[in-house]
Amino acid sequence: MVQFSTTRLDASFAALSDATRRGVLEQLGSADASITELAENFHMTLTGMKKHIGVLEQAGLVTTEKVGRVRTCRLGTRGLEEEAAWIEARRQIWNARFDALDDVIEALKRKEKVDGGQSE
């Protein structure tokens, strides 16, 4: 049974709809970073970046931790698991169908060869 909460999915898809936020996730995928560092890297104001991080945090894609005066961001652990499961469930269905369709197409090609290239 594929289970997911629609609300969380909505938040995730909304969070991923912005190019900067996707860039931030990509960067956090290679290393944790502070909000200040991210703001500099993406040429944004601190306030702008804080907003983006807030959206990502809401969606569970990023977690932040404040140590002293620095807030460090890292990828959320449960980030895309549900979305990945949701997509994968659908991919399995189509993949099974299309593997079977491959066989049908192979059979049709063989039949055409036998019939001397005459299609029905």
Partner 1 sequence: MGDRASNGRTAVERISELELVVTRTFNGPVRLVFDAWTKPELFKLWWAPKSMGVPLLSCEMDVRTGGSYRITFGHGAADAMAFFGKYLDVSPPSRLVWTNDEGGEEGAVTTVTFEEENGRTLLMLRELYPSKEALDQSFVGMEDAMPEQFEQLDELLITLSASM
Positions touching partner 1 (CB under 8 A) are 1-2, 4, 6, 9-10, 13, 16, 80, 83-84, 86-106, 108-109, 112, 119-120
Element (H, E) at 89: helix 81-114
Q: Is 20 exposed, middle or buried (0-12, 13-18, 19+ CB in 10 A)?
A: middle
- Residue 69 CB, nearest approach to partner 1 (Å): 36
| CB nearer partner 1, residue 19 or residue 67 | 19
| CB nearer partner 1, residue 70 or residue 107 | 107
- Residue 31 CB, nearest approach to partner 1 (Å): 23
Helix (H, G, I), strand (E, B) or coil at 95: helix
- Residue 36 CB, nearest approach to partner 1 (Å): 29
- Residue 25 CB, nearest approach to partner 1 (Å): 12
